[in-house]
Amino acid sequence: MPPRKKNPSDFDPNHEEYPDSYNYDLIVYLGLSHYKRGEYQQAIDVFDSALKLNPNGAIGYGHRGFCYVELGQYQRAIEDYDKRIELDPNNAWTYSSRGKAYDNLGQYQRAIEDYDKAIELDPNSAIGHQNRGYSYRRLGQYQQAIADYDKAIELDPNYALGYRSRGFSYQRLGQNERAIEDYDKAIGLNLNNAIDYHNRGYSYDNLGQYHRAIEDYDKAIDLDPNANRYGARGNSYRNLDQYQRAIEDYDKAIELDPNNAWAYERRGYSYDNLGQYQRAIEDYDKAIELDPNSAIGYQNRGKAYGRLSQYHQAIEDYDKAIELNPNNAWAYERRGDSYDNLGQYQRAIEDYDKAIELDPNNAIDYRVRGFSYQRLGQNERAIEDYDKAIELNPNNAWAYERRGDSYQRLGQNERAIEDYDKAIELDPDNAEAYNNVKIRIV
């Protein structure tokens, strides 16, 4: 009776003696079977055995490298791809695979060098151009990325990933209409990819088309709910001033990802806009706990403390926000507001000076600095600031009214009345301005 033929599943990679019936190709085949079942460590053990039989078996190194990638062991994968390239220097697939491993290590320039070689060996590979485009995108070189995505799409017009990736690059360049066109195409090729709906929603959001954004986020959530998608939809509701609906989405995002500092910060912002300042502070506390280096968490908590007239606590938070981001004009402005409310007008002016230095075209900073000068009795300087605020925003009734106050204090009543008239024209419901006019007439 002939001996039973060995089945590949009988193979034990730890066995010291290998039956003659097993050869290199068969063992590699067995390793691939493990790989396809997601059994990456078992596959590596089998490929180890295959390479003991044939140390020059290029394909074994390549497949073992694939397994290391799946396990997140990118450096070991690169070592295997190096060996395969040494044994088979004209294999485009291996250069592309090594490039992906470099991508995963954040070494995008080295990845591009490998993709260059892969494309040189196989210029008609849409995937090669797609991969190189990804590396360019990660380096912020969006135009180069788009050129590669163009080529990938030219080579494969039904390549949904190419349209999606190009759309993302257009989005990063602020070309949201072109991004939407690409997401439309990607969705047409695959109606069930949540990423495309999410990304298109983000572009609609950037264009201020919040209702359309919400429709896309709805679809993305229906296909694949995750914290980011609920958070993104919450942002659109927030932009529509629908803070309660935004909070519901942030609640869900936090339920799915309790360590998402961003969701707590945005929910806090929504509570703030509903006048629920203490609840806002609780969320900012959590956001700061999760991400203590986020300037925005401190600045927003400072704003909430300010709403509660807790100006000293607000100043402490603005101090921290400025320490983390010294170029944050908004934090200087708000800290100045807190000093102003504490009657420390000179310190307020110093902060407004810095805010204006960082953002010289913000009318609000001139307006509030002018008010601090006014409180110090320096009405000429206040008028200069109100002039600038009006130049930057000619429709600001408050600036005309306050400039009118300064003119009145300088005894220039006719100019004061002109400013009050303008304030009333811009804001007919401004009772204080009406009252000031009446006082001047009397």
Instruction: Name the pLDDT band for 440 (thresholds 50, 70, 90).
Output: low
Q: Domains of the chain by range and CATH?
A: 363-442 (1.25.40.10)
CA neighbours closer than 13 Å in the CB half-sphere of residue 195: 10
Per-residue tokens: 243: 């803070």
Residue 224 per-residue DSSP state: S
pTM of the complete model: 0.83
Q: Does residue 236 carry a pLDDT above 60?
A: yes
Q: Which element (helix H / strand E) includes 26?
A: helix 24-36
pLDDT at 9 (0 to 100): 43
CA neighbours closer than 13 Å in the CB half-sphere of residue 356: 19
pLDDT at 20 (0 to 100): 41
For the stretch 379-402, pLDDT in tens is 999 999 999 999 999 999 999 999
Instruction: Name the pLDDT band for 91 (thresholds 50, 70, 90).
Output: very high
Per-residue tokens: 295: 């300037």
Distance CA 236, CA 161 (A): 26
Residue 329 CB coordination number (10 Å): 19
Percent over 70 (pLDDT), the chain: 92
Q: Does residue 2 carry a pLDDT above 60?
A: no
For the stretch 108-131, pLDDT in tens is 999 999 999 999 999 999 999 999
Distance CA 287, CA 278 (A): 14
Q: How far apart are the first and last CA of the chain?
A: 126
| Residue recorded with tokens 């460590």 | 41
